[in-house]
Amino acid sequence: MAEPSERQDPLPGIRAVLAVASAKGGVGKSTTAVNLAVGLGLRGKRVAILDADVYGPSLPRLLGLRGQPETQRDGKLKPMTAHGVGCMSIGFLVEEATPMIWRGAMVMGAIENLIRDVAWGDLDVLVLDLPPGTGDAQLSITQRIPLTGAVIVSTPQDIALIDTRKGIAMFEKVNVPILGLIENMSTFVCPSCGGRSDIFSHGGAREAAAELGIECLGEIPLHLSIREASDAGTPIVLGAPESAEAAAYGKIVDRLIEKLDAALGDAARKAPPIVVQ
């Protein structure tokens, strides 16, 4: 298989592309992607997020964005902006409730157009909220977009973890470094009494990550405030920055910054030297 650098045109002005993936839907991938993106922005990074989840584009809602992006004179779309983060989503172009049947090739075409026809400007990180799953569409994205690294979001349930292994295998196949696993909907924290219970069990991702030789970047509790903040369009890292939930995301963001820098360093070392004759 070809090295990514041989197959993919770099995205001009974009230093790192971080894919947020999950083996199945409903595990909190988009919620995590948005909180990581806004969290990176809060740490001074220039960030944008692309909603590649064409089956269920939810980023406009999670970021409280409405309306449609403007088209610039050069024909490129201007990303919408919320909370300091640029955003582009197929959800701006079609209604969220519109059922869409996409075949693999259509998904790739739509995402490639979105990513290359948007005037992102200079970015430290472009976060890519991938469609859930590990099928052809996802594989095609990982092959055709120059990803710096990927994080996989999973619930602690065993069944989800079996699928998660497929996700890990997919990135390994195309030489995209897996920066780590995030256990979402980990311990449930009762909003009334603060009591903790492990509804979907707990720590499964940490164990699986250790077994698979990848890092567990952190555990995000299952907490009503995370859902409420998302629905209100202000991710919890901004809506309640002092909360334990925001701190859990913050810890992951700090580690991701280190890991993205390391991945960029590795990629630079692996790149063939340019010889000027």
Candidate ranges 44-52, 195-203, 225-233, 254-262; the one touching ligand ADP (CB under 6 A): 225-233
Spatial separation of the C-alpha atoms in residues 198 and 36, rounded to whole Å: 24
CB nearest ligand ADP: which residue? 28
Q: By rule CB under 6 A, what count of residues binds ligand ADP?
A: 18
Q: Is 202 in the site for ligand ADP (CB under 6 A)?
A: no
| 20 neighbors 141 (Cβ within 8 angstroms) | no
Of 23, 82, 222, 237, the one binding ligand ADP (CB under 6 A) is 222
Q: Are the C-beta atoms of residues 149 and 176 closer than 8 Å to each other? A: yes
Residue type at 168?
Answer: I
CA atoms within 13 A on the CB side of 109: 5
**Which of 89, 140, 184, 187: binder of ligand ADP (CB under 6 A)?**
184
Per DSSP, 131 falls in state P
Binding positions for ligand ADP, 97-136, rule CB under 6 A: 132
Instruction: Return d(Cα 33, Cα 28) in angstroms, integer.
Output: 9
Q: In terms of C-beta density within 10 A (0-12 exposed, 13-18 middle, 19 or more buried), how is residue 9 classed? A: exposed
191 binds ligand ADP (CB under 6 A): no
What is the C-alpha to C-alpha distance for residues 257 and 70, in angstroms, rounded to an integer? 31
Residue 149 as a binder of ligand ADP (CB under 6 A): the answer is: no
Distance of CA 11 to the CA centre of its chain: 17
CB of 64 to ligand ADP, least distance (A): 13
Cβ–Cβ under 8 Å, residues 115 and 50: yes
* Interactions with ligand ADP, residue window 21-40 (CB under 6 A): 22, 25-31
Considering beta carbons, is residue 4 or 154 the nearer one to ligand ADP? 154
Give, as ranges, the residues between 49 and 68 that touch ligand ADP (CB under 6 A): 58
Residue 223 lies near ligand ADP (rule: CB under 6 A): yes
Give residues in contact with ligand ADP (CB under 6 A).
22, 25-31, 58, 132, 184-185, 220, 222-223, 226-227, 230
